[in-house]
Every structure is written in C-alpha cells, then in structure tokens.
A and B are shown apart, each in its own frame.
Chain A
Amino acid sequence: GENVGLHLPTLSVQEGDNSIINCAYSNSASDYFIWYKQESGKGPQFIIDIRSNMDKRQGQRVTVLLNKTVKHLSLQIAATQPGDSAVYFCAESGMDSSYKLIFGSGTRLLVRP
C-alpha cells in the first residue's frame, strides 16, 4: 500500500546548528503533509503543515519544503535547541473528507549541548 518513510532514523546535531529532517512519500495523490514532534511519553504535537500547491512554508524557526517531482518532504529547524530533541514524524493525507493521516516511522533528533 501507499506509505510515508524517512531516510534517517537518528539525527544528531550541535546546539545552535540547523537541522534538516527528510521524508519520502509514495502516494502522488496526497495533497496535504504535516510534521509532528513527539516527546517521550507524550502524544504527537503539530509543528507545521503544507498543501501540495505550495513548495515552501515557514513557521517560527521551522520551514517545510515540498518537492512533488521527487516526492520528498523536509523539515528544517533553525538554531536547534535542546528542547527540539524529540522524534519527528511526517504524515500525508489525500483529498477525501475523512482527514486520515498516514505517518512515517519517525526520525529521532538529538541535540548535543
């Protein structure tokens, strides 16, 4: 079936550096993509989203890039902080009205002090 995957299971970065977390998706019909952050023992938290009619969207310290040609999604975190340490998931959904999200397997971000 269609699935969303990640290239790197663990990413270690120095505090203050920028982080880039990547995600590949296989369903070309997906039109909505989201990044979630999950801290240990908690539920996933929404970070940022993007629709397929855009290729870039910026939030506070985060940017999501969408390359539909190669079905690739990335999350960029500027000036990474210790509080950014968590597991990050990308998710996708299609055009139906049920808002069902399909999640990737996650990337763990470790921030070194």
Chain B
Amino acid sequence: DAGITQSPRHKVTETGTPVTLRCHQTENHRYMYWYRQDPGHGLRLIHYSYGVKDTDKGEVSDGYSVSRSKTEDFLLTLESATSSQTSVYFCAITRTGSTGELFFGEGSRLTVL
C-alpha cells in the first residue's frame, strides 16, 4: 500500500462541465503522476509533478491541467470535459530513493456523456 487515495472513484458528468480529480498521498513523496488508461492502450502519462508548484506535461496533456499546492495533493482538472476524456484515471507516486518504479492508486473511472 503506497498510501494513495483517489477521489472520486467514479463520476459521470456531461460534456462541457468542469471536473477535478484528486490524488492524496500520505508518505510525503516528491514525484506524483496522472495517467489515463483506455481499452487497447496502456497507461498514458497526462501530467506529472516533481514538487509543490512544479509540474510538467506528459504525452496526452491537451485538455487537462494540474495543480500541486501541497506535497500531499495532486489535482487533475478537465476544464470542459469531452467524451474523448471518458477513461480510467490513475494517480501514481515514486518513492524517494527508489529505482523509479511507480506505485499506483486504485483509479478513478470518469464517464463523460
């Protein structure tokens, strides 16, 4: 257990509405990540953070923004949700001093109608 909590775990929303997913960690790790997972694809990196207020884009960042105002929380925001953003979203952390393996949360399933 990497001490990662994602919320909400399930959400259904309508196209055009804003959505924020929250990732909370209890172990004070520096690096945090948001991935999305879709059928036929592996996990694709959306954004990541390497510290408070330090974030960078991943391979599928269009339509998403992130914020990290505290070490323990990493927020993923869809400013105006689209049906193509229907997916399962996973938050992950890298433990300080590790060789680089990611530890994942349980996922947040988002459906955009």
Question: Hey, which bits of chain A sit against chain B, CB under 8 A?
Answer: 1, 4, 32, 34, 41-46, 49, 51, 89, 91, 93, 97-106
Contact = CB atoms under 8 A, between A and B. Distances in A.
Contacts of B62: none
Q: How large is the interface on B (under 10, 10 to 19, 20 to 34, 35 or more residues)?
A: 20 to 34
Interface of B: 31, 33, 35, 40-45, 48, 50, 56, 58-59, 90, 92, 94, 99-107
A43 B104 contact: yes
A68 to B, nearest CB: 18
B104 A103 contact: no
A43 B56 contact: no
A44 to B, nearest CB: 5
Counting chain A CB atoms within 10 Å of each CB, the highest count among B44, B50, B102, B104 belongs to: B102
Nearest to B91: A43
Contacts of A93: 100
A104 B102 CA distance: 15
Contact of B43 (A42, A45, A49, A103): A103
